[in-house]
Structure 1
């Protein structure tokens, strides 16, 4: 399909212009290739990921973590290498950071909530102008061990768990990526268990202080679900070929 048509749809569907982020989101690298038949999906951008996308003849790389952030950089060094690599092979780059965390259907947190049986979802945690995290009840009330087993299995991870809350999970807060500093906020929303990504020494004791179970499932692992859900959505709507490439960072 035409790149402009696809980008216009993604921009609207993900509310790219409405959601304030730490750098420009949407089409970050535009190449001479204006026809998109294959989309490679990944969490990050690296030379290895670009090379893999190119090897499958992808026309676009759609990621959660793009190459443009709050500091304006010269197109040189590692950033320059990535841009030159994509330009040389006609690989367009589309990134959706907070817009993909916040999306109610294909967003990381909405997908995680559905995956682990969270109902009556409420949105919380607004790093900029929109909430990106979810909290809700878990009607099945799994044991903490059962929930951790599900997290490890479905996200292909090895979660680190702080056990300071009840043995049964009744209300779960979910924040993909980095949420270690949001324990108190999750507790205030009535959560007994908090699922997030990477941990932090500075916030280690908060779980004990607030009597919370905290499941640190990995920044990378908790943010693999959004791009895959978005890819499935695009494949169904437009018939484009999408493929997720897994490059875990163990973080």
Structure 2
């Protein structure tokens, strides 16, 4: 049972300020996306606002769902039909609020996806690459250099997904850059930093050639896998600050 509750407006205002939403130019609206009950005491967090997450949140009587991947993306159809209709109908029929935070959650310096990935891997000398807009590319070092095979296994242990590795299996890796999610095209920026390896979520055909020709290891560790920890940390932060009940629901996604 939660100890306290918070109004939807208070929670929305706090999140917009805490995540510095106004500073980001994004591909989808950040903040409250679907309005529900005025009073929030139970929150569910998840990576993506898919039907399975919404159904499970409804089953635990959540007042609000907070996700990294919400609705209303640039260039998606504006009509509420099919899959989108079903998702939003479920939210509204259960009076559940939906909050979505995309780039602000990637970039946040203490509980963001990049920050949480660094914590999971035990990285040191962590810093944001100032020449990349919106704090999306980070760099740091492994506490102890690892072979690429050892780093692959560390990623597998921490992210619960075996990464795709491009590069020599036996070379030692000390320094690396990373950007969670679908950020494989930052590989050229990472190579320019002179780091040994770059970690992101997804991979494209040309990523292989970029890595091989520039002599940088690339680890495609999974879009979902690399972005599962920021939203959890946000939910834990809100539970502590407002006394809310929080549950992270992981809808497994191999991509």
TM-score by length of 2: 0.92
Q: Larger deviation: 93-102 or 175-184? A: 175-184
| Residue of structure 1 aligned with 2:106, choices 98, 101, 117 | 101
Paired residues of 1:151 and 1:217 also in contact (CA < 8 A): yes
The answer to whether structure 1 residue 78 and structure 2 residue 79 are counterparts is no
Mapping of residues 146-161 of structure 1, within 5 Å: 146-161=150-165
Could you tell me which residue of structure 2 aligns to residue 7 of structure 1?
A: 12
| Residue of structure 2 aligned with 1:213, choices 210, 213, 217 | 217
| Residue of structure 1 aligned with 2:147, choices 143, 146, 159 | 143
Could you tell me which residue of structure 2 aligns to residue 227 of structure 1?
A: 231
Q: CA deviation at 1:195?
A: 1.1
The answer to whether structure 1 residue 18 and structure 2 residue 35 are counterparts is no
Mapping of residues 28-107 of structure 1, within 5 Å: 28-31=33-36, 33-71=37-75, 73-107=78-112
Q: CA deviation at 1:118?
A: 2.2
- Aligned to 1:64, the other structure's residue is in SS state strand
Deviations 1:113-149 (A, max 9, x none): 122122222323888x512121112232222222221
Q: Distance in 2 between matches of 1:43 and 1:52?
A: 13
Could you tell me which residue of structure 2 aligns to residue 134 of structure 1?
A: 138
Mapping of residues 163-242 of structure 1, within 5 Å: 163-164=167-168, 167-242=171-246
Could you tell me which residue of structure 1 aligns to residue 3 of structure 2?
A: none
Alignment CA distance shift 1:105-1:70 (3 Å): same
Gaps of 5+ in 1: none
Alignment CA distance shift 1:229-1:126 (3 Å): farther
Q: After TM superposition, which residue ranges in structure 1, 4 or more long, deviate above 3 angstroms?
A: 124-127
Alignment CA distance shift 1:231-1:126 (3 Å): farther
- Aligned to 2:69, the other structure's residue is in SS state coil
The two structures, once aligned, show a CA RMSD in angstroms of: 1.8
Paired residues of 2:176 and 2:196 also in contact (CA < 8 A): yes
- Aligned to 1:204, the other structure's residue is in SS state helix
Paired residues of 2:8 and 2:38 also in contact (CA < 8 A): yes
Q: Distance in 1 between matches of 2:81 and 2:21?
A: 26
Q: Distance in 2 between matches of 1:100 and 1:220?
A: 14
